[in-house]
Chain A
Amino acid sequence: MTDSPKTSGAAVLSSPGPLAEQAGLQAEAMALAAVWHRNRMVVCGPRPEQLVQLYLKLISYVPGYRQIFLCGEVPKEVKYLKGAKLIETGEPLAQQAAFQISLAEEELGAAPIQVVYFGAPQAAYRDILGPLDRGWMIVTQTLSRASVEKSTSSVREEIRFPQGTVFLLDPLPEDLTIERNILNETDHCSPGVQEFIIQMKETEARLAFQAILAEMESGKTVTQSYLAETLKVREKTYHKILEIGFREKRLDVTPYIKETVPQVVKFLKAISLWNEASLAAIFIHKNLIGYAKYKDVDFSSLNFLSLSDRVEALSQTEANPGHPWLLELNTREMSILLLKHRLLYGFVLSGGADSALFRSKLEGLIDELARDEINPSS
């Protein structure tokens, strides 16, 4: 998956046409990422009805599991949307304290919050939102970038829509591929279907993060390859899950997950250039230290371990095949190769592939990997 450079400064959605469509998609991807990552933002529009439209677009990006708090001069048409909670007290310090407690409680498992303030930004920022480092937006009538910066803090990104402008006070994530893909896939769908897909992806990411935490708490050695396979996610989604988890729970789990070592990444990338490979997995003992799925294939890496166990059991008998060994299984749809050297290598090849040729190409790569001292703690 390639990623085109991120627009810096401003993205514009203007008149119809392919270029405008592209710019529109970029603007929407930036807005989706900003909301998903809980960036602080000021949403400005010249007319109240357009501002409400823009707000509705942004709020459709807020994950359904987040608790939305509305305060300020909330327009009546948005008061009861998405199960938002209306804060009626006008006491700014009480609001500020309540939001700060809610943010702190996120770390303990409470639902992440999204605060929306309708009205002039200066007092809102000074009295309520200023101390909150994430998860809020101010919705206000026309303001220039300079006036937004004067009343809040410096603007990092500016996203322009026909209905108004979104000023982001936090930087966007480097990679917007996931957001762009979601919007691309749903570009021709109704807003309802698009919202459904967005919500599904966001909820998936949250559940996946919770699963990762549970896996780590169980005391297992957790590798990136194991998580990618078990959670059925590709690399970019995997990183997105960790980033969102960090933004929502302030918990950076990356130091606790064993990354795929560069030599294994190089090995898997080399295999990806061979058309016959559908899946590759590398184990040290029972730990999956490298995993890549090149084609859509239904085969769990655990099957490699079961087969390996059976061959190893045979090694304890009179029929011992000896080490190293290679096991090849052929079916009409696929071939399965399992090689036991110092590491255990498992491959699924597409049906009709020349496994002998594959094996001969593999030898050099395996020799190269064998020369590197890879161990589970590296």
Chain B
Amino acid sequence: MNTPPLGFLDLSAHLAEVKDKEAAMVLTADGQILASDFDSEGRKAAWVEDVLELAKTMTSLLKDSSVSGLDRGLLEGSKRKLVVQRSSKLGFFVVIIGRETMNVGLAGLAAKKISIEIESALGSKK
């Protein structure tokens, strides 16, 4: 299921190669969901806020450390993995969450492609 306003974006297609994914989201820094694809609606409500907080912490800490902004974040736990791709041009986050067996290389690649597609689509509208 893809939530507007990014109606042009087919998240499922981008994630077809990523096995064991549980969710994908495109979030603005203030928490607005631009697009999402969850394997259950219940998870969507529970996850968005927490995941956004982590993504924002990653970004703000790097900003405070006077290095250029976050490009990519990766969290690997014994139960779950999470990939965060930040758009340097527009500041949104692409987040992919999956089980511990998810291939983070493929997930990272998918997140990057999603980010580029959104940037070029929104960039061309301006």
A331→B62 contact, CB < 8 A? yes
Chain B 48-90 interface residues, beta-carbon cutoff 8 Å to A: 50-51, 53-54, 57-58, 61-62, 64-82
Assembled-state Cα–Cα distance A315/B17 (Å): 27
A331→B71 contact, CB < 8 A? yes
Known: A303-B64, A310-B54, A333-B68. A325 touches B73 (CB 8 A): no
* B-chain residues with CB within 8 Å of residue A321 when the two chains form the complex: 75-82
* A-chain residues with CB within 8 Å of residue B70 when the two chains form the complex: 329-331
Beyond the given A313-B54, A322-B79, A322-B80, could you list 15 further A-B residue pairs with CB under 8 A, ordered by the A residue number?
A299-B67, A303-B64, A314-B50, A318-B46, A319-B80, A321-B81, A326-B74, A326-B77, A327-B73, A327-B76, A328-B74, A328-B75, A329-B73, A330-B70, A333-B67
Closest to B43 in A: A318
B78→A322 contact, CB < 8 A? yes
Chain A 309-363 interface residues, beta-carbon cutoff 8 Å to B: 310-311, 313-315, 317-334, 336
B71→A330 contact, CB < 8 A? yes
Answer yes or no: B97 CB below 8 A from chain A CBs.
yes
Interface size on A, residues (CB 8 A): 30
Closest to B65 in A: A299
Q: Which 7 A-B pairs have the closest CB atoms?
A: A321-B77, A322-B79, A322-B78, A325-B77, A322-B77, A318-B46, A310-B57
Assembled-state Cα–Cα distance A310/B62 (Å): 14
* A-chain residues with CB within 8 Å of residue B51 when the two chains form the complex: 314, 319
* B-chain residues with CB within 8 Å of residue A333 when the two chains form the complex: 67-68
* B-chain residues with CB within 8 Å of residue A317 when the two chains form the complex: 46-47, 50
Assembled-state Cα–Cα distance A313/B58 (Å): 14
Answer yes or no: B119 CB below 8 A from chain A CBs.
no
Answer yes or no: A300 CB below 8 A from chain B CBs.
yes
Known: A310-B53, A314-B51, A319-B47. A327 touches B75 (CB 8 A): yes
B21 to chain A, nearest CB (A): 13
